[in-house]
Structure 1
Amino acid sequence: MQTSIVIADDHPLMLRGLTDFLTSKGYNILGSAEDGKNAYNLIVKLKPKIAILDIRMPYKTGLEIAEEVQKHNLPTKVILITFDKEEEIYDKALEFGVYGYILKEFAIEEIETCISHVENNKPYFSEEIANYLKHNSNKRPKELELLTKSELKIVTLISDSKTSQEIANELSISPRTVDKHRSNILSKLNLDNKPTSLFIWSTINKSFL
């Protein structure tokens, strides 16, 4: 069965473009909205697998919706589309467990890749955003010194979008051992336990690994 999706954007052309494009690709579009309030109501009512949300919308922003989804433990995974590359907004997206973060100018090109990542519980975000954040943080994070060789190897594999099972196979250890390493890494890096946090951190700091 194709993934169920709700789409929200306050630009009617963008909304229609994305809706038509994804419908033509066979996705199950449950509903669409032009403001954050209606978008959130649709998510609560229809419980889509994925919500594709513009960050800046009237009544509720995409970030505020992501925060509500997380707070109320709703099963929907949030993908944000945005023109914003600000680190602060990006950090908030990370904090609210956002699964995808793509730039509007690449939305149509990247949305299918993004959805397929999210369907497999893998976060996805535009390379442009990662590159921008890397240029803005050229200092090697001090926390990396706290990691052991094995932990560094695991963080590197996480930055390559590898799952715990794939990492376990590659390092000839059990997935349980990988998960144990993961939780040690999270606590050393002072990150929360969301599936997206370590992936995003490792991608931004990939050049230092």
Structure 2
Amino acid sequence: MNRRHFVTGAASLMLAGCVGTQQRAPLSPAQDPYYLTMYGPQPNEEFPVPAVDLNKVDPAYYRRVVDYPTPERAGTLVVDTPNRYLYLVMENGKALRYGCGIGRDGFSWGGRARIAYKKAWPTWTPPSEMVDRQPELEKFRNGMPPGLQNPLGARALYIFEGGRDTLYRVHGTLEEWSIGKAVSSGCVRLLNQDVIDLASRVPNDTPIVVLQA
């Protein structure tokens, strides 16, 4: 091998080495396989749930474990209305945090209550006053069947104060864009994948605390 071929070959190897050690650009949260799996399709549900379009959700509202020092005991749900988060309190100052949407005028009820019971793919029955305001809902006065278009989504957790139904729910939604916003009729809405996860973790009679601004 003559000197010219040696130099050319060495230069090629050096260039190849440089290319091989280049750093890839970090993935955005919406491209992260961890979140793509977390919010992927759920075909085994009674009504198969499609994947979430994560580009329509602020990554700040993706489900994750966070530091959350609180006097509330583990297993309690805490709705942080101003910041649009729902926390499931864990041991050792941690919590599982979910992004949520709230009512247009804020979550108008606050205080301590409990999740009396849960339903998978619930029927939605609009309150009479809602039907009076929106006559197009008359056909659902006696209940809207479960399904992907049902406003309660894949799961509903029913909030009772003592023995009284507050009429507020923690429920699912297909409307990804609404997470982190005040748009619903007053309930706390989570992505369907998140409310399915939450409902699997909390039993009936789970305490819930709703914090106002």
Q: TM-score, normalised by structure 2?
A: 0.25
- Tell me which of the two structures has the higher relative contact order, counting C-alpha pairs closer than 8 angstroms and 6 or more residues apart: 2
Q: Which has the higher strand share?
A: 2
Q: TM-score, normalised by structure 1?
A: 0.26
Q: Which has the higher helix share?
A: 1
